[in-house]
Structure 1
Amino acid sequence: MALVTGAAKGIGAHTARLLAEAGATVVASDIDHGGAAPDRGRFIAHDVTDGEQWKAVIASVEATEGRLDILVNNAGMILNKPVLSTTLEEFRRVQTVNVESVWLGMQTAAALMARSGESSIINLSSIYGQIAGPMQAAYSASKGAVRMLTKAVAVEFARAGYGIRVNSVHPGPVDTDLGRSGLAPGIAAGRFASEAEAKAFVAAQFPMGRWVETADVAGVILFLASDASRFMTGTELTVDGAYSIL
């Protein structure tokens, strides 16, 4: 039984489908009410920044599915803005969506997940939680926090004997609406004539020659959700075609 947040589109939607194809019953949640349920499961409206909604979602999973084995904290946002023009309110909003939601998810789901005996939490971070992101100070701060939060909770849960593994995934620029939004400042500044030109420029920065695709990330999430990674916890897996090591 799996719960995937931010599952209306992008990485979350692909992950929900892949987990369902692998045999899991999947609850796909998103603040976007237009999300589609995977073949094996259901969709539920969910604002991941709201602690009371987290309680309601976990209670619904417990009442309907009876257990929770996999939690994918995927919901998030990005802010492409210079630090000197980013307001404190904007900075706080990024932390609320990207960090507090992960905290709430792990904290609220832990008791139910511990009953499974062996379960897995996968938190979506970013390479910009490992390296600096251009005009992404608020975003980098949030994803760096997710990286270290994952490690701290992994150790705590392991030592407590909860049977819950906690790992993070760090994609490079992903070919989704959210990922491509990072091209807008360069286009607005006249550096690129079009989105296609900007996208091609970024693709050329990947040693493997293309952007990250949602399937690349979903496959790694499936691995971390499966018994194939049963002795991995507190680990960060980078999915970027060597983009971040140049």
Structure 2
Amino acid sequence: MTKSRVAGKVAWVTGGGSGIGRATAMILGQEGAKVAVTDIDGEKAAQTASELREQGCQTLSFQLDVTDENQWQQGLSLVLAEWGKLDILVNNAGISLAQSITDMNLAQWRQVMSVNLDGVFLGTKYGIIGMKQGKGGSIINVSSASGLKAAPGASAYSTSKAGVRLFSKCAALEAAQTEPRIRVNTVLPGGVMTPMWSRMEGWENWKEQAGTEAELWNKLAENTPLKRFAKPEEVALAILYLASDESQFVTGAELVIDGGFTA
């Protein structure tokens, strides 16, 4: 059977060089979309795009710092010049920080807010601008189960992801008021096996204490009812649904993918 759930659509995925972003770019391309893959690491974005082209998908890639408005403007111009429209935008790029409130400095706090919240604002803004030039579309913002459930040492991350949730609802209501219709939804993953974890301060020490990386993943998932973390592809499948016409009546919604963590 031909995969065609988003055939003919143009998609833009941020943070597409690894983890959820890479998995999302791959599945959107495999399901028929033309995909612009962006990441602050331009080489990783290019690698994802190269893998898509090897599978016969139409794609392009470029470096994008989601906190830089000029880069969003330039990126939108590039996508529209290449394909003439924008149908899907996945605001996935984000960073994490494990730091207590008293140990965290203001610069660290602002960096998390800048990437995780300002980046989603800018992406949604230019996504709407681009989609209004066509026939509308779907914006999917990646929040987190941490935006629903607090945890010590995650105040900046949780606050930024909670902000993504409410901002996305506001954007959904605004975007529903004008033609063409643009839908805005969020996905809220729980623990996902992505490189973001290994970049966190303390990862190597945690792995040493656990014994092996596999044992560490098991330990991290102890409080998840399904007793494991998600694969990036499992989150990407939820994003695919929200990107496709199967979800035409879904906007302002939150799709929680956390193995029961917030139940």
Alignment match, 1:122: 140
Query: Counterpart in 2 of 1:8?
Result: 17
Structure 1 residues not aligned, in runs of 5+? none
Q: Distance in 2 between matches of 1:200 and 1:180?
A: 15
Say yes or no: does 1:167 pair with 2:185: yes
Deviation at 1:215, TM superposition (A): 0.8
Alignment of 1:28-47 (within 5 A): 28-35=37-44, 36=47, 37=49, 38-39=52-53, 40=57, 41-47=59-65
Judging changes above 3 Å, is the alpha-carbon distance between structure 1 residues 128 and 221 closer, same or farther for their aligned structure 2 residues? same
Secondary structure (helix, strand or coil) at the match of 2:193 reads coil
- Equivalent-residue separation in structure 2 for 1:32 and 1:241 (angstroms): 30
For residue 203 of structure 1, report the CA deviation from its aligned partner.
Answer: 2.6
Q: Give the corresponding residue for 2:231.
A: 213
Can you list the C-alpha shifts for 1:85-143, whole angstroms capped at 9, x where unaligned?
A: 01011000000000001111111221220233230000000000111133110000100
Between the aligned partners of 1:125 and 1:92, the Cα distance in structure 2 is 17
1:84 is matched with 102
Q: TM-score, normalised by structure 2?
A: 0.87
What letter corresponds to residue 104 of structure 1 in structure 2?
A: L
**SS of residue in 2 equivalent to 1:170:** strand
- Name the structure 1 match of 2:254: 236
Match of 1:71 in 2: 89
Q: From the superposition, tell whether residues 155 and 20 of structure 1 become closer, same or farther in structure 2 (CA, over 3 Å).
A: same
Opposite residue 68 of structure 1, the aligned amino acid is: L
Aligned AA (2:245) = D
Displacement of 1:202 in angstroms is 2.1
Identity of aligned residues (%): 39
Distance 1:194 1:209 in 2: 17
Equivalents in 2 of 1:182, 1:162: separation in Å?
41
- 1:153-189, CA deviations, whole angstroms, 9 ceiling, x for partnerless residues? 000110233411000000001111113556837946x
Name the stretch that deviates more: 38-47 or 192-201. Answer: 192-201
Contact 1:174/1:212, CA 8 A, preserved across alignment: yes
Q: Which runs of 4+ in 1 moved over 6 A?
A: none
